[in-house]
Each structure stands twice: as C-alpha cells, then as structure tokens.
Amino acid sequence: MAENPDRRWGGAVRWDTVVGALLVVLIAASFSFVGDFGNALNISFLIGNTLPIAAIALPMTMLVASGEIDLSVGSTVGLSGSVMGVLWNDGMDINMIILICAALGIVCGLVNALLVTRLGLPSLAVTIGTMAAYRGIAQIVLGSNSVTDFPQNYLNFGSGRIAGTFIPDAAIPWLVLAALAVVVLHATGFGRSVFAVGASQEAARFAGLRVKRIKLSLFVATGLISSLTGVFWVLHYASATYDNATGLELSVVAAVLLGGVDFDGGRGTLGGAIAGVFLLGTLQNVMSLVNISAQSQTVVTGILLVISVLGPRAAKQSALARARRTNRSMTPTPSSSFL
C-alpha cells in the first residue's frame, strides 16, 4: 500500500478512530461521574432505545459509502408497524405478519432502487418522495388507531433483558446483523465493490462492476432492515401507530455522518458508524441524566455533526501540510479496514 498520510500519524487523524475514542472516554467519564449511569437498568435502556438507529445505520453506511442515501427509512419503519397493527387486528398469526412485513420492506427498497438505478434519479430526491409516500400509506392503512395488544412473549422480547445483565434480548440479533455487515463490507469483494462504486461510479462500471445491481441490493437491504426494525419498534414500545419513528431518518443519517462515513462516497467504516450511533445515544442518555434540556441536546448534536465534517478536512489539511514540508508523495487510498 502506498504512503497513507492517515496511517503515518498512527491513525490518530482518522475520524472514525476519534469518534470511537470519544465514545470510550464518554462512557468512562459517565461511569465515574454520573451516578445514575452505570447500572444494568440504565445501560439496557440506552441500548434498547438506540437499537433502531443502530440497526438501520448498518445498511445505511453501505448505501452512503456507495454514494447514495435513503431518507425513507423512518417511513418504512412506520409503514411496517402500521401494517403489523392492521393485520394483527384482522386476526392474522404473528409470525405470518412479521414475514409479510419483511417482504414489504423488500418492496419499499425495490421501489427506491428501481427509481435510482433504472431511471437514474438522484436518491436524495427519490427518497424524499418515498418518505412522504410510505408515511402517507401508513396513515391510510392504520388511520387513527393505535394497536397495543400483541402477544406478551413477543413484547417481552422487544423490551426485555437477558436475565441479570444489561443486554436487551433484541441486542443479540442486532449483534449478529452487525457482524454480518462488517464482514460483508470490509472483508469481501462485494464490500470493496461498494467502496469502488462510491469513489467513482464511472470508473467502477468501466472496471466491470455491476453498479446497478450493487446499488439495488443495498437499497433492498436497507428496506428490509427498516421494516424489521419497524416490527421491533412496535414490540419495544408495545404500540403501533402510523407516526411511529417520524424523523428517524435524520437521526440515522446524522449518526452515520458523525461516524466518519463520507457523504461523497467511497470512504468510511462500519466501526465508525456504529461508534457514531452509540456516541449520540449515550450523549442523549447522559445529558438527560444530568438534566440538560432537550433543546440544548439538539444544539450539541448539531455542533458534533458540523465538527464531524470539518474535523477530517482540517486533519487532512494539516497532514498534507506536514507531509509537504517533509517532501513526501501522497497517495490517498480508500479505507477498507474496520476499526
């Protein structure tokens, strides 16, 4: 590998490492100084409430790395929940319902994918449209109803913890999913193709990569994970309403961007994205515990987001300046390792 200015300085200027470090520091500080933070109950709250964002951040990271974005995820979560509520009221078996919701998610992802790949439309505009469309359909489907009487053992799965620990039951499937995602993105040819597509779509196509198919599979994966998250959301909060998860997409995008995934495509790691998700989640948890108002939390989120893009640029500028001084040649390479 050619000289990588980031590596030269021990990786300290890589933003995802910074985010990971910030997370560790925050957790350590909170354990020591915030009395109500460091117990099993609170940690389980933190993880449980962050799980939806953490789940969707996995495919979203890959999507952003390939140069696209999906703002319809929150509405897919809501639509999946609404369909779940309606079918449950109609008396369908719960397992059947969950499978239907999964299929629904695939369809939602397909719509986005086809509009972006077949018609060549910008994903930002398309997913703003599908965001409104899916939410609207959720409203038509479920209306003003709120469905809460799901089977108790499923509800327990949605909000329970593994006996005696701080780990929510639902964290296990998420860990499996995260491991799968990390392997696919960072250790397979497919993952490398994703980064290649993000770095330059044209070059990737000329190199023989099936750009359209890659993007299609990413959108479909995002839709599927979103609808499954919708099912989890309903079970976790024991409530299916049409406006579940309104605004979730911005939180996911903010967390992924905070984790150093480059919006221009072609750079980023899942480790960074996951660290970004939990950094934001932990910050909100801790700030609430020390009675910082919701409004101030919003300001902090915004500042972090701005720093997350200015930071790496500033770091790169300083690295380049230093390198220029010592007269070395720089060749940027795409990051393809995690953590």
Partner 1 sequence: MTPTFRRPRPIALRVIATAAVGPLLALGLTACGGATKGSTDAAASSAAAGSGTSANPNAPTKTGLTVAFLPKQVNNPYFTTSDTGGKTALTALGETYKEVGTTSATDTAGQVSYVNTLTQQQVSAIAVSAQDPGALCTALKQAMSNGVKVVTYDSDTNADCRQLFISQASAEDLGRSEVDLLGKELNYSGQIAILSAAQTATNQNTWIGYMEDELKKPQFANMKLVKIAYGNDDAQTSFQQTQGLLQQYPSLKGIISPTTVGIKAAAQYLDGSQYKGKVLLTGLGTPNDMRAYVEDGTVQAFELWNPGTLGELAAYAAVALASGQITGAQGQTFKAGSLGTFTIGAKGVVTLGQPTVFDKSNIGQFNF
Partner 2 sequence: MTATLEPVHVAAQPSRTLLDRVLRMRELAILVVLVLMLAATQADNGAFLSEQGIKDLLLNATILVLVAVGEAVVVITRNVDLSVGSVLGVTAFAAGDYIQGGGNPAVAFLIAIVVGAVFGVLNGLLVGIGRVPSLVVTLGTLYIIRGLDSVWVGSREITAGQLSSGFVSFGHDGVWAIPYLGILAAVVLIAVAYYLRDYRSGRECYALGSNPQAAALAGVPTRKRVLGAFVLCGALAGLAGALYLARFGYADASTGTGYELTVVSAVVVGGVGFTGGTGSVYGAALGALLLTSINSVLPAIGVSSVWVEAIDGILLLLAISLDRVVALRVAGLLRRRAREARSADHG
Residues in contact with partner 2 by the rule CB under 8 A:
69, 115, 119-122, 124-126, 128-137, 139-140, 143, 250, 253-254, 257, 263-264, 293-306, 308-310, 313
> For residue 16, with 0-12 CB atoms within 10 Å meaning exposed, 13-18 middle and 19 or more buried, which class applies?
buried
Contact between residue 72 and residue 112 where contact means Cβ atoms under 8 Å apart: yes
Binding part of the chain for partner 1, among 124-132, 182-190, 261-269, 322-330 by CB under 8 A, reads 182-190
Residue 125 interacting entry, from partner 2, partner 1, none, C-beta within 5 to 8 Å by type:
partner 2
Under the criterion CB under 8 A, does residue 242 sit at the interface with partner 1? yes
Give the DSSP H or E segment for 132: helix 123-142
Contact between residue 227 and residue 105 where contact means Cβ atoms under 8 Å apart: yes
Contact between residue 283 and residue 110 where contact means Cβ atoms under 8 Å apart: no
- What's phi and psi for 168, nearest 5 deg? -70, 150
Buried b (16+ CB within 10 A) or exposed e, 40-60: eebbbebbbbbbbbbbbbbbb
Minimum CB–partner distance for residue 22 and partner 1 (Å): 21
Is the Cβ of residue 110 or residue 330 nearer to partner 1 in the bound state? 110
Is the Cβ of residue 22 or residue 177 nearer to partner 2 in the bound state? 22
Q: How many residues bind partner 1 (CB under 8 A)?
A: 76
Residue 202 interacting entry, from partner 2, partner 1, none, C-beta within 5 to 8 Å by type:
none
Under the criterion CB under 8 A, does residue 157 sit at the interface with partner 1? yes
Is the Cβ of residue 75 or residue 244 nearer to partner 1 in the bound state? 244
Nearest to 29 by CA among 283, 337, 284, 270: 283
Minimum CB–partner distance for residue 286 and partner 2 (Å): 17
Which residues within the stretch 247-306 sit at the binding site for partner 1 (CB under 8 A)?
247, 284-285, 288-289, 291, 293-295, 298
Residue 39 interacting entry, from partner 2, partner 1, none, C-beta within 5 to 8 Å by type:
partner 1
Is the Cβ of residue 4 or residue 159 nearer to partner 1 in the bound state? 159
- Cα distances (angstroms) measured from residue 335 to each of 35, 69, 95, 124, 127: 39, 20, 40, 25, 27
Minimum CB–partner distance for residue 303 and partner 2 (Å): 6
**Residue with token string 């790691």:** 269
- What's phi and psi for 161, nearest 5 deg? -120, 160
